[in-house]
Every structure is written in C-alpha cells, then in structure tokens.
Amino acid sequence: MSIVEYIGSLSDVYGIADFSIEKEELIEMYGEDICKYPYAIAIGHKMIEEIIEKIPLTYTDDDLAKEYLDEYFNSFQRVSKIADKIIDYIQNEGFNAIKLDVSGTNPELNLKKPFSNKASANLSGIGWLGKNNLLTTKEFGPRLTWATVLTDAPLGEYAGRPIESLCGDCQMCVKACPGKAIVDLPNPKESYSPEKCGEFLMKRKESGHQVACGMCLYICPFGNKKSKELMGW
Ligand code: SF4
Ligand code: SF4
C-alpha cells in the first residue's frame, strides 16, 4: 500500500500541502523551521454523528452537554493516534515525519507562532474557514477534528491548493449563534469574535452549566442535512 493509500484508509478526509508553493509567505509568518519538512498532511476525523445531532439539546440537558464535550476531546485523542500510525508507516518507508501537537507546535521546530491544523487543512485545499472560523469541508462541514503530520516523504504530486470560502450568502451560523459571536462578513477574522464566544461560554459556566456550545458546528449546512434543505442546496 502506498503512503497516500494508507493515509486515506485511516482518515475520513485528508489533504497534502506543499510548502514550496508559498514558501516565502510561510517563512515570513512562521519562521524558517516551518519548511524543515516540505509537506504537511492534514488528517480529518469525523466526530460521532449521533452526538453532534444532539447539540441543540445540550443547552437544556447538561448530561448531553457533557457527552458532547467528551466527544470533542476524545475525537482529538483518536485523530492523534491516527497521526501516530501514519508517522510510523512513513518512517517504515524510510522517510521522516513528525506530528504537530494540539497547539500547533512540535519541540523540534522553532516557530514564530503555532501552525494550526486549520492552516494545514486550508493550505492543502480540503476546506475553508467559515464565517464561524471553523475549518469547513464540503463533505462533512465542520464536524471533524484534525491532526497535522509534517514529512519529507515525496508527496508533492498529491498536494492541493487553498480553496475559496463556499459560505456565500449562507448566514446559518450567524443567526443560530446564541452568543451573537458571528456576523455576516466573508473574512472569518472579522466575522467571528472569540471574545463574544468566550463571554457566552463564561455565562454558561457562571450559571452552573457545562462549558459547551457547538451550535455553529451543528448548524452548518455542509454537514447538516436539514440546514442544507433549508438553504435549498
Ligand atoms: S461556540 Fe457557540 S457562542 Fe461560540 S461562536 Fe459557536 S455558536 Fe457562537
Ligand atoms: S453555517 Fe453557513 S456561513 Fe456559517 S460556516 Fe457554514 S456555510 Fe459558512
């Protein structure tokens, strides 16, 4: 089995980013070490559908909120293990590979700022940052967790290119966000307010509830069939 076949067998979605394509911009943003390995593999792993579908109930049911929070963290653990297997496979093929941790760093790299999973997935062309600032894919919307492997295995022929946002006129997450943390602007840096999102979560905590909110993840029509029908897509 080739390396990409192996990656595909373990991932729900994956993409390859070739750092040589935008090398200067990447080095300016992250520092020289970001190009120590020429390729990034973005590995997408689906969260459990049944749990995501219950998100609207989590605002009145703390057990369901806890179940969602647990799944959020467990899915990170699962995708991290998938990344470890992919690293082993690549190393057995005679190449080097390292994993970025959840904060987007690795002790081997001296980066100016973390290189996030969102960045690797976006550069590899498998998704875009939605108005909710979540990495959104055509197939599953934002209902995925991500891991990133950097490698020198020769994967250039499989590399993708960043894609434009497909949010268009959709305002589903804007209207559904209970914290009013999303506005209808195309640039996620302007549309999504981490402060307002944080304030909403803090209010949940202060009123004795689980610190959970995933409405923007749930509602996106790229992963939600009912929203998709409402959008007429
Ligand atoms: S997590 Fe909740 S409050 Fe924060 S942006 Fe998403 S829907 Fe809004
Ligand atoms: S809900 Fe609509 S606007 Fe929000 S991220 Fe998804 S497609 Fe974009």
Interval 35-74: pLDDT, tens: 999 999 999 999 999 999 999 999 999 999 999 999 999 9
Q: Work out the average pLDDT over 93-111.
A: 93
Separation between Cα atoms, residue 58 and residue 68, nearest integer Å: 8
| pLDDT value, residue 179 | 97
Q: Work out the average pLDDT over 107-132.
A: 93
Average model confidence (pLDDT) for the chain? 95
Q: How many CB atoms lie within 10 A of CB 229?
A: 10
| pLDDT value, residue 167 | 97
In this structure, are residues 134 and 181 in contact, taking their beta carbons and an 8 Å threshold? no
How many whole angstroms from 196 Cα to the centroid of ligand 2?
18
Q: Is 131 in the pocket of ligand 2 (CB under 6 A)?
A: yes
Res. 95: pLDDT tops 90:
yes
| pLDDT value, residue 103 | 83
Res. 229: pLDDT tops 90:
no
Q: Is 41 in the pocket of ligand 2 (CB under 6 A)?
A: no
Res. 196: pLDDT tops 90:
yes
In this structure, are residues 54 and 68 in contact, taking their beta carbons and an 8 Å threshold? yes
Res. 139: pLDDT tops 90:
yes
Separation between Cα atoms, residue 188 and residue 33, nearest integer Å: 27
Exposure pattern of 8-28 as b/e (b: 16+ CB <10 Å)?
Answer: eebbbbbbbbbbeeeeeebee
| pLDDT value, residue 183 | 97
| pLDDT value, residue 136 | 96
Q: Residue 102 — very low, low, confident or very high, per pLDDT cuts 50/70/90?
A: confident
In this structure, are residues 20 and 27 in contact, taking their beta carbons and an 8 Å threshold? no
Give pLDDT tens digits for 147-173: 999 999 999 999 999 999 999 999 999
| pLDDT value, residue 86 | 98
How many whole angstroms from 152 Cα to the centroid of ligand 2?
35
Separation between Cα atoms, residue 201 and residue 198, nearest integer Å: 5
Residue nearest to atom 2 of ligand 2 (CA): 170
Could you give the C-alpha distances from 22 to 25, 38, 155, 184, in angstroms and in order?
Answer: 6, 11, 16, 29
Q: Which class for 60: exposed (0-12), middle (13-18), buried (19 or more C-beta within 10 A)?
A: exposed
150 sits in which H/E element? strand 144-151
Q: Which residues line ligand 1 (CB under 6 A)?
A: 132, 177-179, 181-182, 197, 200, 213, 215-216
| pLDDT value, residue 233 | 86
User: Strand 135-136 to strand 39-46: parallel, antiparallel, or no bridges (unpaired)?
Assistant: unpaired
Q: Residue 101 — very low, low, confident or very high, per pLDDT cuts 50/70/90?
A: confident
Mutate to test the pocket of ligand 2, among 131, 184, 224 (most ligand atoms within 8 A of CB): 131
How many whole angstroms from 55 Cα to the centroid of ligand 2?
16
